[in-house]
Chains A and B, each alone.
Chain A
Amino acid sequence: MWSLTDESLLAGLASGDHKAATAFVRRYQGRVYGLALTILRDPATAEEVAQETFLKAWRHAAAFDARRGSVPTWLLSIARNVAIDVVRSRRQEPLDPEALAALRGSPTQEGPGEERVQVDDRERLRAALAELPEEQRRALVLASFYGRSAREIGDMEGIPLGTAKTRIRAGMIKMRAALEVTNE
């Protein structure tokens, strides 16, 4: 199971294979729980979200479309959406400065089944995120991790809607440029 590609494991999940499911959970639990914890800051809730994420992955594995991205990003999108639903329903203050620092901080390590090229992408993204002006970085994190709209970001940061939109747009375009350079 350990040397299987992400797609093979997911295919195992899609066919109801519990061994594949266990290996799948083991491979991604750190990422899924880590993202949930980054968003929610509460271990108990983060675990609930992580469990709900794997349940959804189990149910919807057959619907994965490799053209849309990799297995980890598919899984993390699920986790992000589940976490955002929780954040919205609990109305908690989402942006913990520690969370922001964590996104810039930890060294990137190759996970099992992960190719070197993916790790390099992450490094470039992390570097690009670190280079953004502080206000653009905050806007991007609020949008991508906490699902905040431009209007909500404007309210939270005390800026006009147009400014919030500009910060999001500028940040995203810079991040895309950082990735594109490597994909040529």
Chain B
Amino acid sequence: MSDCRSVRALAPELALGIASGEDRASALRHLAGCAECRRDVESLALVADELLLLAPEVDPPVGFESRMAERLSGAATPARGRRWAVLAGAAALIAVIAGAGVYLVTAPDRHLADYYRRQLASAHGRYFVTSALYGPGARVQGEAFGYEGDPSWLLLTADRGLARGTYRVHLVTVTGGKVAVGRMRVDSGGSWGRAIPFDLSNVRSVTLTSPNGDVALEADLRQD
């Protein structure tokens, strides 16, 4: 599904979060590069959200507040002073469509990443992993988001500072194999999203190779 017409037809289901994994993955590929279709899905996602407001308000059973206060006092304090990734544009929309909601975090801090990975794990064994894309000198020049599902997919975003050009994207598997999965166009930043040919749990890292052949960026996607 690579054209606007098919993605627009699917847009209501994407916005409602009910599209099949396969449909979602191919739509995401298109959405990563088409702002107009993203706007279409986004406007429908707002409708989907607003529909929930139509449910009548009902007071919960007596004592709910105190039971809640008790549970919250026992709950771990939300992480403070951490840098939270507020995703913009393609990344935010795509993450929501993938079902990860707003539970996203940039994770050079592996403990935090692990905490959220456990929080995100659902009955279907899906999880979401994020990692910084490191360039030369260990400078963060982008982000990688991986989603384990049917199928798994990967979203990459590059910052403005990255040199312009078409980068080759490779996955490095846990057994050391290197698999080409496409090309990413960078011009004052960029984004790339695609379903990947195997489970995210088999991926060790993702690399972006610049046009002249140097390995430009790498993100560690290991689950440990």
Which of chain B's residues have a CB closer than 8 A to the CB of A63? Answer: 84, 86, 102-105
Select one of B13, B87, B102 contacting A74, CB under 8 A: B102
Which of chain B's residues have a CB closer than 8 A to the CB of A129? Answer: 51, 54
Q: Bound state CA distance, A126 and B64, in angstroms?
A: 29
What distance in Å separates the Cβ of A61 from its nearest Cβ neighbour in chain B? 6
Select one of A15, A60, A76, A126 contacting B49, CB under 8 A: A76
Given contacts A21-B72, A172-B44, A179-B50, contact A144 B16 (CB under 8 A): yes
Given contacts A25-B68, A25-B69, A143-B18, contact A78 B52 (CB under 8 A): no
| Cβ B12 vs Cβ A173 within 8 A | yes
Q: Bound state CA distance, A179 and B48, in angstroms?
A: 11
| Cβ B58 vs Cβ A34 within 8 A | yes
Taking CB atoms and an 8 Å cut-off, the chain B residues in 9-37 that contact chain A are: 9, 12-13, 15-20
| Cβ B101 vs Cβ A77 within 8 A | yes
Interface size band for B: 35 or more
Interface residue? B67 (CB, 8 A):
yes
| Cβ A64 vs Cβ B51 within 8 A | no
Select one of B54, B65, B75 contacting A26, CB under 8 A: B65
| Cβ A69 vs Cβ B13 within 8 A | no
What distance in Å separates the Cβ of B89 from its nearest Cβ neighbour in chain A? 10
B43-83: CB near A (< 8 Å → 1, else 0) gives 11011111111111111110011011101110111111010
Interface residue? A9 (CB, 8 A):
no
Given contacts A25-B65, A179-B47, contact A111 B78 (CB under 8 A): no
Interface residue? B140 (CB, 8 A):
no
| Cβ B102 vs Cβ A65 within 8 A | yes
What distance in Å separates the Cβ of A70 from its nearest Cβ neighbour in chain B? 8
| Cβ B101 vs Cβ A38 within 8 A | no
| Cβ A125 vs Cβ B84 within 8 A | no
Which of chain A's residues have a CB closer than 8 A to the CB of B19? Answer: 149
A80-118: CB near B (< 8 Å → 1, else 0) gives 110001001100000000000011011001010000001
| Cβ B57 vs Cβ A47 within 8 A | no
Q: Bound state CA distance, A13 and B46, in angstroms?
A: 24
Select one of A55, A60, A72 contacting B53, CB under 8 A: A72
Which of chain A's residues have a CB closer than 8 A to the CB of B123? Answer: 85, 88-89
Select one of B61, B71, B77, B105 contacting A16, CB under 8 A: B77
Would you list 29 pairs from A and B whose C-beta atoms are within 8 A, ordered by A residue? A18-B72, A30-B60, A34-B58, A35-B52, A35-B55, A47-B60, A47-B61, A59-B75, A60-B78, A60-B102, A61-B78, A62-B78, A65-B92, A65-B102, A68-B92, A73-B52, A76-B53, A102-B56, A122-B50, A122-B53, A126-B54, A143-B13, A144-B16, A147-B18, A148-B18, A149-B20, A150-B18, A173-B12, A176-B47
